[in-house]
Amino acid sequence: MFVKDIQLVNFRNYENIYFQPNEKMNIFYGQNAQGKTNLLEAIYVLLRAKSFRTNSEKQAIAFNKEQCFIRGRVEAFGFDYIHEVKISHYNPKKLRLNEENIENLSQYRQNTPCVLFRPEDLNMIKEGPNLRRDFIDDLIEQVDTSYESILKQYNHLIRQRNIALKKNRDKNLIKIYNKQLIYLGVQLIKSRYEALELFREYAKKYYGFISYEKEDLDISYDTKISYNPSIKEMREDYEDAFNKSLERDFTLKRTTFGPHRDDLHITINGLDVKDYGSQGQQRSVVLSFKLAEVLYIEKQTGQKPVLLLDDVFSELDQQRKKLLLDAIGSCQTFITTTDQVMQIEKFVPQASVYSINQNQLFS
Ligand SMILES: Nc1ncnc2c1ncn2[C@@H]1O[C@H](COP(=O)(O)OP(=O)(O)OP(=O)(O)O)[C@@H](O)[C@H]1O
Ligand SMILES: [Mg+2]
């Protein structure tokens, strides 16, 4: 899948620009605050119908304008699709696909997978488990449309159960929640185990490549329930674990066990990367995760996602930069950088380089 052309009107600092990206590698080069990340945001909005920068998408409308729109032609499975997103201060967001209004978000983005790296993703390594859980959940959601709704139902029930633990402390009510949570929780844990089994192989391969095979990455899923091909046995284990944690849950007034508490354990040469990894190693881990995500989506859905890499080169030494560019493969890629482009052009001579200056794009 790739973006054939894209137009931005009144989107952030762009009044009206149109360009036809390279099917493979595109570099947005420019000084700080010129609008490089804004361009990646526009491509992401075109493909995923939401922003990665803000929950309030109206912020993307250029100052003093009433609305913005992004329109682009995307090729997926050999067919062209025209995608359009209109964001207005006064009306709800409007999505159009091939000139028809679309209400259903998953219909709009079913053929447009996208993998994004941005510097904030390093927090996934450095901080608590919730960003790591979000990562694995996002990975599965892009290839399995039922996962998102199971996760939503599960989270809703956890909130209800926590209210019951705090307020009425009714053991029978808790038992009813337990039964439903076991059913949903096992599905989540099983999907995560299965996704990670493949993903781990891909991430190990890419990390080995980026670290010139000197370092060994590993990932394991940190949960109390062991993987078992039999769902029945996993449910029994889950029920046991639930029973064991019941008194604790009543004392702490929250659900202390389940996939909402699980984590990914990430190591380099056996050492926890959160506690022992250098900045460059942590960045390399996140990048190998993103490359592995590309491969995972491609294997599961049969099409290559678009890869967006924001400010990806900082903190990587020359050799890692080159290895990263070599590892990217053939999916359509957009990279922003303030670095001297000469170096990148040397590594990827066929790239299209756009220089961004004062709200304009020069190719
Ligand atoms: N709604 C908006 N309307 C007009 N301009 C905006 C809007 N939102 C942000 N901007 C402008 O966009 C600029 C930032 O763009 P962006 O974040 O893409 O920069 P960048 O080139 O990625 O910089 P850096 O290299 O520092 O990451 C800011 O100067 C900001 O004022
Ligand atoms: Mg930026």
Ligand 1 centroid to residue 12 C-alpha, Å: 7
Residue 37 CB contacts under 8 Å (≥ 6 apart), including other chains: 53, 118, 310, 311, 336
pLDDT band at 160 (very low <50, low <70, confident <90, very high): very high
Residues 226 and 329 in one domain: no
DSSP string, 275-342: HH--HHHHHHHHHHHHHHHHHHHHHHHSSPPEEEESS--TT--HHHHHHHHHHTTTS-EEEEE-S-HH
Ligand 1 neighbour 338 (Cβ under 6 A): yes
Smallest-distance ligand from the CA of 310: 2
**How far apart are the C-alpha atoms of 57 and 241, rounded to whole Å?**
42
Helix 129-141, helix 279-301: angle, nearest 10? 20
- Please check whether residues 161 and 255 belong to one and the same domain: yes
208 with 245, same domain: the answer is: yes
- Whether residue 108 sits in one domain with residue 130: no
User: What's residue 350's pLDDT?
Assistant: 84
Q: Kindly report the protein residue whose alpha carbon is nearest to atom 25 of ligand 1.
A: 32
Enter the tokens of residue 358. Answer: 């004062």
Measuring from atom 27 of ligand 1, which residue has the nearest CA?
32
Q: How far apart are CA 343 and CA 287, in angstroms?
A: 19
pLDDT at 280: 86
Specify burial of residue 230 (Cβ count, 10 A radius: 0-12, 13-18, 19+): exposed
What is the structure's pLDDT at 213? Answer: 80
- Note the pLDDT of residue 99: 95
| Gap between the Cα atoms of 257 and 248, Å rounded | 10
Residue 199 neighbours by CB under 8 Å, 6+ apart = 136, 139, 219, 292, 293, 296
Which of the four pLDDT bands, split at 50, 70 and 90, describes residue 80?
A: very high
Question: How much is the pLDDT for 145?
Answer: 83
Distance linking the first and last C-alpha atoms of the chain = 23
Same domain, residue pair 108 and 132:
no
> Is pLDDT above 70 for 320?
yes
Closest residue by Cα to residue 321 from 352, 280, 282, 289: 280
pLDDT at residue 321, rounded to an integer: 82
pLDDT at 343: 67
Question: 95 and 74, same structural domain?
Answer: yes
Distances (CA, A) of 221 to 129, 180, 231, 238, 330: 11, 23, 18, 16, 30
Q: Domain range holding 22?
A: 2-113+306-362
pLDDT reported for residue 313: 84
| Residue 216 scores a pLDDT above 90 | yes
pLDDT tens column, 196-206: 999 999 999 99
Same domain, 76 and 151: no
C-alpha 40 – ligand 2 centre gap (Å): 9
In the block, residue with structure tokens 């020359």: 318
> Could you identify the residue written with the tokens 């389940």?
258
**Cβ atoms within 10 Å, residue 15:** 13
pLDDT of residue 153: 97
pLDDT at 362 over 90: no
Q: Is residue 301 part of a domain?
A: no
Strands 114-117 and 100-102: unpaired
- 49 is a domain residue: yes
pLDDT at 118 over 70: yes
**Overall domain count for the chain:** 2
Does residue 316 sit in the same domain as residue 270? no
Determine, yes or no, domain membership for 99: yes
Report the C-alpha gap between 49 and 91 in whole angstroms. 16
* Ligand 1 in reach of 42 Cβ (< 6 A): no
> Does pLDDT of 330 surpass 90?
no
Between 307 and 56, the higher pLDDT residue: 307
Distance 141 CA to ligand 2 centre (A): 27
Residue range 244-276, pLDDT digits in tens: 999 999 999 999 999 999 999 999 999 999 999
Here the CATH number for the domain that contains residue 170 is 1.20.1050.90
Claim to verify: residue 239 and residue 181 sit in the same structural domain: yes
Using pLDDT thresholds of 50, 70 and 90, give the confidence band for residue 102: very high
Which has the higher per-residue pLDDT, 314 or 113? 113
- Please, which pLDDT band fits residue 342 given cuts at 50, 70 and 90? low
Same domain as 144, residue 221: yes
Ligand 2 being an ion, which residues bring their Cβ within 5 A of it?
A: 37
Atom 15 of ligand 1, residue of closest alpha carbon: 35
Mean pLDDT of the chain: 92
What CATH number is attached to the domain comprising 342? 3.40.50.300
User: Is the CB of residue 40 below 6 angstroms from any atom belonging to ligand 1?
Assistant: no
Is 267 inside any structural domain?
A: yes
The count of C-alpha atoms lying within 13 angstroms of the C-alpha of 311, restricted to the half-sphere facing its C-beta, is 16
Beta strands 271-272; 352-357: pairing state:
unpaired
CA-to-CA distance for 69 and 277, rounded, in angstroms? 42
pTM for the whole structure: 0.91
Q: Is 178 a pocket residue for ligand 1 (Cβ < 6 Å)?
A: no
pLDDT band of residue 341 (cuts 50, 70, 90) is: low
Q: Is 36 in the pocket of ligand 1 (CB under 6 A)?
A: yes
| Residues 13, 102 within the same domain | yes
* Minimum mean pLDDT range among 28-32, 95-99, 179-183, 260-264: 28-32
Mean pLDDT (whole number) for 30-43: 95
For residue 53, the CA-to-ligand 1 centroid distance in Å is: 11
The reply to whether 325 falls in a domain is: yes
What would the mean pLDDT of 100-127 be, rounded to a whole number? 92
Q: Within this chain, do residues 260 and 312 fall inside the same structural domain, yes or no?
A: no
Is 354 a pocket residue for ligand 1 (Cβ < 6 Å)? no
Residue 66 falls within a domain, yes or no? yes
Q: Does residue 358 have its Cβ closer than 6 Å to ligand 1? A: no
Q: How far is the CA of 35 from the centre of ligand 1 (A)?
A: 5
Whether 102 is covered by a domain: the verdict is: yes
Mean pLDDT of 168-189: 92
